[in-house]
Structure 1
Amino acid sequence: MLPEHAPFSPDQRRAVDLALAGLDASQRFWLAGFLSAAPVSAAAPISAPASSLKLTVLYGSESGNSEKLADLSAKEAKKKGFQATVKNMSDISPADLAKVENLLVIVSTWGDGEPPESATSFYKEFMNGSAVHLPAVRFSVCALGDTAYEKFCQIGKDVDARLEALGATRIAPRQDCDVEYEQPHAEWLAAALKSFGPAAPAAAVVAAPAATHVAEEYGKKNPFPSELLEKVLLNGKGTTKETWHYELSLEGSGLTYDAGDALAVVPVNAPDIVEGILKAAKLSGSESVEVKGVGQKILADALREDLDITALSRAVLTKLQAISGSDKLAALLADDAKDQLKDYQWGRWIADAITDFASGGVGAAELVTIFRKLPPRLYSIASSPLAHPGEVHLTIASVRYQAHGQPKKGVASTYLADLVAKGGKVPVYTHQNKNFRLPASSDTPVIMVGPGTGVAPFRAFVEQRGATGKPGKNWLFFGDQHYTYDFLYQTEWQDHLKEGNLTKLDVAFSRDQPEKVYVQHRMLDRAKELYGWLQEGAHFYVCGDASRMASDVHEALISVVEKEGGFSREVAEAYVEDLKKSKRYQRDVY
């Protein structure tokens, strides 16, 4: 019998007594030796631990990065004894924060200062309409963003300031993260958890024996060298567009994906872009330089493989000004010259700025400090894993244009088009997009709006629904410039219509008639039937350009509901907002 002063609760003492009662002397002797050899944490308490601190990890995510970091943060917090709960901004109201004592916020900024799609309602209410007071809340914010945009990490900055204004106490400074966010996040999390104070000690864990062999794991830190199996130009002769269909192998990678996910492509810079930087900086490229996170490299190789040498952001110009001492550049970076700065940045690369503001050249060691790491590019996957096992397909328009009398091009889109031949290798990894998923039931009707390359994930959706057998109703709205040249995957859509995988197809070719016709016009033409599908429970999806198309489609959707439902504008807006909250209206826009 265990004595009453033993460090166990009454129920635990009874359980131990019961277990020991059935053991003979030799078994008890073996168990005593085993327990004495088991590792015990030095911090393990003699008495039962006190209740651990409760912690809420709140996130707002567009592409899934903030969600992933929120889950990681909660996992690390639990290891330290916190009772951590993860909450999506789409599933909470500002008033709910009054019940929270310890709060970590991880939120991304989408585009130029916009909140993530799923966090829009929370953000608007929190910033503009919320009268909640939060004097008991202790918080810290980790903001995700992209220094290529002027309003870098703006949403995180807004939420951080608003929490303080509502009386909450900041226990650790806000961390602003660029596209390489892992290390800054880890440092922020460690500091924030420490600032909350000691939680109850986590239970000691006996380490499992180390595996004798670990298979190579591919992902963001170790991209898979995928073979390019096929590349097909989708546009016909006479078009002004250049849209490619790429097929890449995932055989042996261990990488998986679902319809709606994205593929990250890790590009390299083209030789002419590298040469432009070297010419502007007056360097040969043979110089040896220290690259952060990489080590010593030949400059030309570093410019090609490791560094973002095109995107002309304020951060880049600020570093260049510090190196060059240019008064002209300092004036352009002044707070009252934002419009002039934006005008200057349009259509220019970093090489242009070096030429304009550092005409004497830049030293090799100083040059590499200007750039950030070359980021991967995320592309919506255009295939279903059920229809194409071991493969992943992409639909990418090569970006080429003229600006200031010079030819310009997209780094990743032309990397695939110009620098990778069939049979070549492309570093890739898959990226989950939980905010762009087919309905759980294959019987649920689906409406898809995807002009241009925005049609990519809907090729995956239709293939996925067809591969599962007897899909529900599927309706695609597709648009581009010309029927003859730009009807992407035309024969495939016709086959899907014949086979019943696609129920309806409406197209809009903007340049085939005097008046411009776009997908939103086709939606309005089909308003009655579209509203009928929504009333049946249809899910509505949009993919493509965010600057105009997505907002025009959104307005058309509200108009359809207002007209066919007989609602006021306000009620129609609330109807559409409810579609979002119930995840029946999802967007993948860029």
Structure 2
Amino acid sequence: MKMVALSAFEDIIADLQEIEKLSLPEFKQTPLKVCYTNDNNTETTYDGSGPPLPFAASKIFDADILTWKRLTAANEDCKAVYEITLDVEDSSLTFKAGDTVGIIPQNDDSDIGFIVNHLNLASTVDLPYSIIIESNIKGSKLPIHIPVKSTLRHVLRYCVELRSLLKKAFLLSLSRYTKDDEERKILEYLCSKEGSAAYTNHVLNKRLCILDIFSIFKTCKPPIEVLLGNLPRLLPRPYSIVNSGLKNNKVMKICFSVMTSNNRKGLTTGWLERLILNREATLENGFKNMNISIESQSKQKVSIYLRKNFSMFCLPENLEKPLILIGPGTGVSPFIGFLEEREFLKETNQDIQFGDVHLYFGCRNPKLDFIYEEQLNTYLAKGTLNKLFTAFSRVNSEKKYIQDALTESGKEVVKLIKEGAHVYICGDLNTMAVEVKEILINCFVEHGDMTLEEAKAKISYMQKEHQYVVDAWS
């Protein structure tokens, strides 16, 4: 077996030597059959209306990128965070602070090229195809996101998620088209009952995708139908809108950080970064707060649509209510829209006594990744923002997080909530959002004269009344 696979799965090889028979899931043969034509008709059609847009509140609009700027320092100690400004003047999009858009992503050219080369699809990838469903096979059905007519390149670019985690049934199918015995046995072990721990450790925890499988298991070369039948849909990615459409609905701003996993940049964030850097610019062009116009270059388009705001992550109708905004890192971005909208409403409702606004922001180092620092200080000076609490985790030997800042000001937090404050949290669902909830419960107990049960009930009531709203991602 290839050295790459040997080094990556040494523990599995040892386990396999002690197992006589594996308990495998049921193998399901793919009912799809791709037939190619030479009629030059590459139009994409679905069996029906095609896959719906999740939580859509508008149709898709192709927006030009007007400008962009890098919000973090060009430093290896912090992630690249960008803000892009989209031209939506000719759209029918109506949005407010707190709304989100869905960005229609596309798979990377290098990922597509790798699949094409590995499966020897060069001669067919751009040919028109039609898909036949073999009805004699159990579970014969075309996945809703796979066009009945199109080209493989279109499907690989826009329709399937090449970086999705691999289910066990998919791994079993892949093993059936793996020539090398040791490679095949490892794939079978990963999807077996006996290899359940190995599946968690090697596939789930390491987030292996089909690109990784083909890189490691060189002789795994299934028919393209196996991929079409098992790869999930390439879903739109939700992003918070940074600005308020009440003040200016001609442009829309989006903030994003470029994530990296398994030495790959994030699918959508990496694509957006390549768009704005135009594939030729270097990171030297992206110093913090540098605005770069794209008007002189060929316009780059991003397909977007407005999403329904089911969570009510928006300013309360009662403008007199205080606000507590909690957003570390890029979680602060929708609150820039909140403050912009709040300032606009103040100017147009001068007879109303607006409630105080307290904002909690955290990052590693204020010299590297304090995004929107200038805007926040401006809102602070104007009185749109009344207090700004910060926490920096990489400045002194003693790390300080946004949770610490909340604990330190717990008495003030409880006082504002008793005055009817609305609490908004934006950030990571699995860590920050959970810990913030626990801290607020502790604040009620310590400073609000409540029992633990009463504090938990208070948070639950606030959630039910949309007084405690979370916009989080995992």
Query: Could you say if the C-alpha distance between residues 221 and 541 of structure 1 is closer, same or farther in structure 2, counting changes exceeding 3 Å?
Result: closer
User: Which of 229, 232, 237 is the equivalent residue of 1:369?
Assistant: 229
Q: 1: CA distance between counterparts of 2:251 and 2:233? A: 28
1:531 maps to 2:392:
no
Q: Is the 8 A contact 2:172 2:191 kept in 1?
A: no
Q: Per-residue deviation at 1:309?
A: 1.2
What letter is aligned with 1:413? T
Q: Is the 8 A contact 1:277 1:309 kept in 2?
A: no
Query: Could you say if the C-alpha distance between residues 315 and 411 of structure 1 is closer, same or farther in structure 2, counting changes exceeding 3 Å?
Result: farther
What letter is aligned with 1:394? I
Query: Equivalent residue of 2:107, what SS?
Result: coil
Q: 2: CA distance between counterparts of 1:574 and 1:475? A: 23
User: Which of 64, 68, 77 is the equivalent residue of 1:227?
Assistant: 64
What letter is aligned with 1:324? Y
Q: Per-residue deviation at 1:550?
A: 0.8
* Residue pairs, 1:408-447, within 5 angstroms: 408-420=264-276, 421=278, 422=294, 423-435=299-311, 436-447=313-324
User: Which of 443, 459, 472 is the equivalent residue of 1:560?
Assistant: 443
Query: Equivalent residue of 1:548, what SS?
Result: helix
Structure 2's unaligned 5+ residue stretches are: 1-49, 132-144, 179-183, 279-293
1:385 maps to 2:209:
no
Q: 1: CA distance between counterparts of 2:248 and 2:438? A: 36
- Which residue pairs with 1:247 in the alignment? 85
Q: 1: CA distance between counterparts of 2:226 and 2:167? A: 17
Residues 115-154 of structure 1: per-residue CA shift (max 9 Å, x gap): xxxxxxxxxxxxxxxxxxxxxxxxxxxxxxxxxxxxxxxx
Q: Is the 8 A contact 1:482 1:510 kept in 2?
A: yes
Q: Per-residue deviation at 1:383?
A: 1.1
What letter is aligned with 1:447? I
Query: Could you say if the C-alpha distance between residues 350 and 419 of structure 1 is closer, same or farther in structure 2, counting changes exceeding 3 Å?
Result: farther
Q: 2: CA distance between counterparts of 1:253 and 1:366? A: 39
Residues 489-515 of structure 1: per-residue CA shift (max 9 Å, x gap): 111011101111111111111111112
Q: Per-residue deviation at 1:281?
A: 2.7
**TM-score, normalised relative to structure 1:** 0.59
What letter is aligned with 1:314? K
Query: Equivalent residue of 2:429, what SS?
Result: coil
Q: Per-residue deviation at 1:298?
A: 3.5
- Which residue pairs with 1:236 in the alignment? 73
Query: Could you say if the C-alpha distance between residues 230 and 499 of structure 1 is closer, same or farther in structure 2, counting changes exceeding 3 Å?
Result: same
User: Which of 156, 161, 165 is the equivalent residue of 1:303?
Assistant: 156
Q: Is the 8 A contact 1:285 1:300 kept in 2?
A: no
Q: Is the 8 A contact 2:174 2:222 kept in 1?
A: no
Deviates more, 1:228-237 or 1:351-360: 351-360
Query: Could you say if the C-alpha distance between residues 275 and 476 of structure 1 is closer, same or farther in structure 2, counting changes exceeding 3 Å?
Result: same
What letter is aligned with 1:439? P
What letter is aligned with 2:61? F
Q: 1: CA distance between counterparts of 2:446 and 2:194? A: 45
Q: Per-residue deviation at 1:318?
A: 4.5
Q: 1: CA distance between counterparts of 2:333 and 2:113? A: 34
Query: Equivalent residue of 2:430, what SS?
Result: coil
What letter is aligned with 1:562? V
User: Which of 112, 121, 130 is the equivalent residue of 1:274?
Assistant: 112
Q: Is the 8 A contact 2:163 2:209 kept in 1?
A: yes
Residues 297-336 of structure 1: per-residue CA shift (max 9 Å, x gap): 3333431232211112316734743753744323312345
Deviates more, 1:448-457 or 1:317-326: 317-326
Q: Is the 8 A contact 2:146 2:155 kept in 1?
A: no
Q: 2: CA distance between counterparts of 1:318 and 1:447? A: 47
Residues 357-385 of structure 1: per-residue CA shift (max 9 Å, x gap): 57142233443333233111001111111
**RMSD, matched Cα:** 2.5
Q: 2: CA distance between counterparts of 1:566 and 1:220? A: 43
Structure 1's unaligned 5+ residue stretches are: 1-179, 186-218
Q: 2: CA distance between counterparts of 1:320 and 1:479? A: 46
Q: Is the 8 A contact 1:387 1:464 kept in 2?
A: yes
Residues 557-583 of structure 1: per-residue CA shift (max 9 Å, x gap): 111111001222222212222221222
* Residue pairs, 1:180-199, within 5 angstroms: 182=52
User: Which of 328, 352, 355 is the equivalent residue of 2:186?
Assistant: 328
What letter is aligned with 1:247? T
Q: 2: CA distance between counterparts of 1:365 and 1:573? A: 51
Deviates more, 1:474-483 or 1:250-259: 250-259
- Which residue pairs with 1:95 in the alignment? none
What letter is aligned with 2:341? Q
User: Which of 342, 358, 372 is the equivalent residue of 1:465?
Assistant: 342
Q: Is the 8 A contact 2:175 2:220 kept in 1?
A: no
- Which residue pairs with 1:88 in the alignment? none
Structure with the greater alpha carbon radius of gyration: 1
What letter is aligned with 2:320? D
Q: 1: CA distance between counterparts of 2:247 and 2:369? A: 24
Q: 2: CA distance between counterparts of 1:348 and 1:487? A: 33
Query: Could you say if the C-alpha distance between residues 320 and 242 of structure 1 is closer, same or farther in structure 2, counting changes exceeding 3 Å?
Result: farther
Query: Could you say if the C-alpha distance between residues 270 and 445 of structure 1 is closer, same or farther in structure 2, counting changes exceeding 3 Å?
Result: same
User: Which of 362, 365, 369 is the equivalent residue of 1:482?
Assistant: 365
Q: Is the 8 A contact 1:281 1:363 kept in 2?
A: yes
Q: 1: CA distance between counterparts of 2:211 and 2:170? A: 11
Q: Per-residue deviation at 1:351?
A: 1.5
What letter is aligned with 2:440? L
Q: 2: CA distance between counterparts of 1:370 and 1:481? A: 40
Query: Could you say if the C-alpha distance between residues 323 and 374 of structure 1 is closer, same or farther in structure 2, counting changes exceeding 3 Å?
Result: farther
What letter is aligned with 1:588? D
Query: Could you say if the C-alpha distance between residues 319 and 386 of structure 1 is closer, same or farther in structure 2, counting changes exceeding 3 Å?
Result: farther
Query: Could you say if the C-alpha distance between residues 460 and 315 of structure 1 is closer, same or farther in structure 2, counting changes exceeding 3 Å?
Result: farther
* Residue pairs, 1:131-150, within 5 angstroms: none
Query: Could you say if the C-alpha distance between residues 339 and 437 of structure 1 is closer, same or farther in structure 2, counting changes exceeding 3 Å?
Result: farther
What letter is aligned with 1:480? C
**TM-score, normalised relative to structure 2:** 0.73
Query: Could you say if the C-alpha distance between residues 414 and 355 of structure 1 is closer, same or farther in structure 2, counting changes exceeding 3 Å?
Result: closer
Query: Equivalent residue of 1:362, what SS?
Result: coil
Query: Equivalent residue of 2:371, what SS?
Result: coil
Q: Is the 8 A contact 2:172 2:187 kept in 1?
A: no
